[in-house]
Structure 1
């Protein structure tokens, strides 16, 4: 018997590494903790009334048995709040389900979650009228929907949210109302302060001024199950024609403290997560925020993390808006929700909180992790502009000036949305560093300080930071913008990572005096890139950007960029120690 016990003990010791090797939990990889429990799901669709009686259309996806019946076991619920129609009938008669095409949803159901997709009021098959974008009414709807989902017999009372872009910010809107059952959210490409994102630098982003999409009228939306003839759907769409047009809102509120006559509120304050940060920190859900370096939302993730202890994870990859081609985002959703909704001890909460991608790193070493931002050891170095189109570290050179006429031809007002600019080299002024003599890692937020004069009383200034390789190829890595009349700096009401912040109140508006230089200081969106020996950095400055919707009717102004002497324009670059 003693010999048998010894043999069993030896076998247990021998097999332990094998068992442990089958359990993997690290960013983008997950195995051995959350098996696929089902091989099919079933969908149902209902109307759910919120507190003011408005009925919202909801699609519910539940795990199903082999016979196609929903399972009886209650599970955590994950939901999305979308203006993009939860389900539609295509022109060929086929049904396209958001739950089928929205990347993580269906597979999460198969791993033991219930997924719900909700049309926002005034959209899809939901009743009501849309007041602006993600206003307090939509927030209250999210509160009511969260608690309704938590009470259902197929729910275990634990509720989370997921989605990207508008559907990412919808999670912030829900979190601001602190519903008790909302435990964890996974917002992609979302904001912290609405003004600092939508009107960054005083310029409204293009994708918030696009013409209304035909889908906004609900064409093709599927009715709920109890409305096979679509009578309720038709009645709901009658109210949608009174929805507030987005572009009309922005034109009335160019300043942060503006009152919106359309919405009867201070829109920027009402719809910003930053307004509610104290309540969210005390009673709100934990957050996993993600985006890509090539996305306008990148800076907002780091600022949210600096101000909300609820932000337990931050992921930033190399791609653009709502893209994750080089990272297994499904695995990351599953790891996160398993930990915070099911209590699975998979270690995600013990990892470094930031996981980010570095361009040009050696294959297999592009992804890095950190627990603080800016990164430890960040060294800020100023590179001064010169009248010879140079960028040099050290001290400013002699005084000089270069001029360009604003090129409005770059503006493509074709109704399309360009979420990330292309290189503007050749459309303004360019300044370039000498080739680097050793490898350098640039990670963080660059800041420009530009002495500008113009022949106009106002104007927009765009700055683009590009890496240039010895073969002449280049890549745009960061950009920023500022309307000259918004140049006054202020003290931010929250942690802004030490970056220049423009209050942009109406009383701060300061027109330019033609020919008189003024200092414009603003940050560029963050990035992380490895500059190889022989690479150079190029700063491009223009007065127009392809993402603008319109241009001034006046003749293009001439803009002067001053350098050296007492008007030493520069760019401040964040370098960090190289990884071994």
Structure 2
């Protein structure tokens, strides 16, 4: 918070001469007159902090004007855009914010247009009121845009982003400065567009963005089939501009000149050649998998992921405001961007899944855009870069670095009988577990939240009865865990391969088991390598040549980094680690008969444990 100073208001009345006193009285009277509006107005209080902003700029525009048109790309493909220009305020050139979406820039629902501004609580209304034009574009092969799509984030799609930025900057209503915003796909495309190094693109606000798509499609080498199948179906309906009940899918809005709908129909026909994403995912089972493309060059995960373009993103100099959630699939990536890239950047992580967000989101966007699109020195760039929420204590805190400076990675060991302890067992032992293929993390998880369905993690106590669990005694004091827990599992199995799922839970005194984090790994992809980005965590390259089948009965170490977490386990609660061999509602695990039997080592030289990031 930046507070103004007002001369004459703070005074020491003791030990003053009469002349100094009279002078002070006169100064005080003048200050009071200014505050009262006699002869002037007092400078408004300047406040700039997360979720709060005043005194630096004001919402001077009372409405907006919407136009819709086609913009030709360099190859002639016509992209549909909606332009929202501020109205009811000063007439001047303004910065613009670009949104690129495959989910319809606007739709027609029961004869009514639904667009960015339809919801009275829309953050875009706030952003426009502060003097920003917004341009929302249908990505080629989607909505009302022409063209076809090969996969997602193809080079030509990314190239379109630069063409759109150039077009916006050249408009007579734009001052040449362009930013971007959006969530999920709309976030990833911002990083990809930044890699174009277009000088007009000054800053981006990606909310829930992946770094490497392989870690989402095949986390730990296991196909996230539920999301892939649901997403592919939704995209086919959207790209076909169909109305699909009972889900909320409606046709795209035509551009203004397309009064009869013939242009929308022609564009939709071109969408029929779009790639089947389920087929594509089945062809790209490893991080180094590649597929042939219509433009004659093979395409793999690095091509279609920010991780393959980090050098160009850095060179662009684009300022970045990363936003994420502890329950999002991209929570680790949100923190990775901040740690890895040298760009001027900030990161906010709250207790959100993919469908939720910061209450002060709109004003945070204004703060960031004001600084990097209008050059207003509001101090947002001087704040500590990490703004993180801690569950359990329900507090927000600013931090200078991630992992936190006072983090103490502490091993908690598995013990015979299902106990979890901070001291290593003196004797060597083991726990056996027969894989139950009905185990699940639930039908509404962080994984399916990617499709817009909010996550709802229920009590895992019953599910834990089907898993292999290790639980601490009730805690004697509150315990904060903030960072990346890492499992070191020493295990043998009766099968040549298997999927391993690990869950971190907060168990209350009443036995309620609350999900906090998870990780997973296909054992044949257990080989470790150097993580190409920060922070330095266990990393599985998952190349095709890395496949190593298990030798039944031979003990191996599986190292699994869980999703980051910031949580206070309360006094009287217990910490639980739960292990399973399947997540039937989310991941595709081959079912073997008979079911494999695991032997988990506890104690001795092969003592299984989980490294916990404890904050003392």
Q: What TM-score does the superposition give when structure 1 sets the normalisation length? A: 0.92
Q: Are 1:78 and 2:92 matched, yes or no?
A: no
Task: Give the match for residue 169 of structure 2.
Answer: 150
- Contact conserved, 1:41 with 1:109, CA < 8 A, in 2? yes
Q: Give runs of aligned pairs for residues 195-210 of structure 1, distance below 5 A.
A: 195-205=214-224, 206-210=226-230
Deviation (angstroms), 1:487: 0.2
Task: Give the match for residue 229 of structure 1.
Answer: 260
Instruction: Flag structure 1 segments of 5+ consecutive residues without an equivalent.
Output: none
* CA pair 142-401 structure 1, distance change in 2 beyond 3 A: same
Task: Give the match for residue 549 of structure 2.
Answer: 511
Distance 1:14 1:282 in 2: 52
Say which SS state the counterpart of residue 282 (structure 1) adopts. Answer: helix
- Contact conserved, 2:464 with 2:578, CA < 8 A, in 1? yes
Deviation (angstroms), 1:290: 0.6
Task: Give the match for residue 212 of structure 1.
Answer: 233
* CA pair 273-36 structure 1, distance change in 2 beyond 3 A: same
Deviation (angstroms), 1:9: 6.2
- Contact conserved, 1:291 with 1:322, CA < 8 A, in 2? no
Deviation (angstroms), 1:508: 0.6
- Contact conserved, 1:318 with 1:357, CA < 8 A, in 2? yes
Distance 2:378 2:520 in 1: 42
Task: Give the match for residue 565 of structure 1.
Answer: 604
Distance 2:443 2:329 in 1: 20
Distance 1:182 1:100 in 2: 27
Deviation (angstroms), 1:118: 0.3
Task: Give the match for residue 57 of structure 1.
Answer: 80
Task: Give the match for residue 410 of structure 2.
Answer: 381
Deviation (angstroms), 1:361: 1.1
Question: Which of 397, 400, 417 is the equivalent residue of 1:371?
Answer: 400
Deviation (angstroms), 1:310: 1.4
Deviation (angstroms), 1:65: 3.1
Distance 2:172 2:190 in 1: 24
Task: Give the match for residue 423 of structure 2.
Answer: 394
* CA pair 352-517 structure 1, distance change in 2 beyond 3 A: same
Q: Give runs of aligned pairs for residues 177-576 of structure 1, distance below 5 A.
A: 177-205=196-224, 206-210=226-230, 211-213=232-234, 214-219=237-242, 220-261=251-292, 265-324=298-357, 327-361=359-393, 366-410=395-439, 418-419=448-449, 422=457, 423=460, 424-495=463-534, 497-555=535-593, 556-576=595-615
Deviation (angstroms), 1:218: 2.2
Query: Deviation string for 1:228-251 (max 9, x for gaps)?
Result: 111111110111011012121111
- Contact conserved, 2:288 with 2:301, CA < 8 A, in 1? yes
Segment drifting more, 431-440 vs 143-152: 431-440
* CA pair 415-395 structure 1, distance change in 2 beyond 3 A: closer
Distance 2:367 2:348 in 1: 13
Q: What TM-score does the superposition give when structure 2 sets the normalisation length? A: 0.87
Say which SS state the counterpart of residue 100 (structure 1) adopts. Answer: coil
* CA pair 308-380 structure 1, distance change in 2 beyond 3 A: same
Task: Give the match for residue 26 of structure 1.
Answer: 49
Q: Give the CA RMSD over aligned residues.
A: 2.5
- Contact conserved, 1:452 with 1:517, CA < 8 A, in 2? yes
Query: Deviation string for 1:259-310 (max 9, x for gaps)?
Result: 1246752421101212222222122411000111111111001111111011
Max radius of gyration: which structure?
Answer: 2
Deviation (angstroms), 1:311: 5.0
Distance 1:522 1:411 in 2: 18
Distance 1:451 1:311 in 2: 42
Task: Give the match for residue 96 of structure 1.
Answer: 114
* CA pair 452-161 structure 1, distance change in 2 beyond 3 A: same
Distance 2:86 2:221 in 1: 47
Say which SS state the counterpart of residue 118 (structure 2) adopts. Answer: helix
Distance 1:296 1:407 in 2: 25
- Contact conserved, 2:103 with 2:238, CA < 8 A, in 1? yes
Deviation (angstroms), 1:525: 0.5
* CA pair 247-262 structure 1, distance change in 2 beyond 3 A: farther
Q: Which runs of 4+ in 1 moved over 6 A?
A: 2-6, 13-18, 412-417
- Contact conserved, 1:315 with 1:356, CA < 8 A, in 2? yes
Distance 1:60 1:29 in 2: 28
Say which SS state the counterpart of residue 267 (structure 2) adopts. Answer: helix
Instruction: Flag structure 2 segments of 5+ consecutive residues without an equivalent.
Output: 1-19, 243-250, 450-454
Distance 1:166 1:140 in 2: 16
- Contact conserved, 1:443 with 1:576, CA < 8 A, in 2? yes
Say which SS state the counterpart of residue 464 (structure 2) adopts. Answer: coil
Deviation (angstroms), 1:561: 2.1
* CA pair 130-334 structure 1, distance change in 2 beyond 3 A: same
Distance 2:102 2:281 in 1: 19
Deviation (angstroms), 1:34: 2.1
* CA pair 15-312 structure 1, distance change in 2 beyond 3 A: farther
Q: Are 1:116 and 2:135 matched, yes or no?
A: yes
Distance 2:106 2:279 in 1: 28
Deviation (angstroms), 1:380: 0.8
